[in-house]
Amino acid sequence: MTPTYYLLLSALLFTIGAVGVLVRRNAVVVFMCVELMLNAVNLSLVTFGRINGEIDGQVMAFFVMVVAAAEVVVGLAIIMAIFRTRRSASIDDTNLLKY
């Protein structure tokens, strides 16, 4: 089992997340796609750590998890605030700012 497969899986997950951010319309789902991207990065970090034979990659994955959690807290608070006003979490409805 070569580590390359894990890297490919990670790239695939990252791409799914990125495409999800671009095509989905619900703010919460968009946000979950970003989380998917971060976790795909975690997989890459751990795999590279294994390839390099050190634990730095795992330690970095910890930090990414922490940052992702902090982002969840801040992001949900913002999305909740706008959801309570508009009764909808669709980012198509947030259209006051246009040029």
To the nearest 10 degrees (0 to 180), the angle between helices 27-52 and 56-86 is 180
- Residue 24 is a binding residue for other proteins (CB under 8 A): no
Cα–Cα distance measured from residue 49 to residue 65, given in angstroms and rounded to the nearest whole number: 16
The binding track of 51-90 with respect to other proteins, each residue x by CB under 8 A or -, is: xx-xxxx-xx-xxxxxx-xxxxxxxxxxxxxx-xx-x---
Tokens matching residue 8: 């490919």
Nearest to 10 by CA among 33, 42, 35, 57: 42
Tokens of 68: 């992702």
Q: How far is the CB of 78 from other proteins (least distance, A)?
A: 5
Distance CA 93, CA 6 (A): 38
Nearer to other proteins, 9 or 48 (CB): 48
16 touches other proteins by CB under 8 A: no
Question: Which residues of the chain form contacts with other proteins (CB under 8 A)?
Answer: 7, 10, 14, 17-18, 21, 27, 30-31, 34, 37-38, 40-41, 44-45, 47-49, 51-52, 54-57, 59-60, 62-67, 69-82, 84-85, 87, 91, 94, 96-97, 99
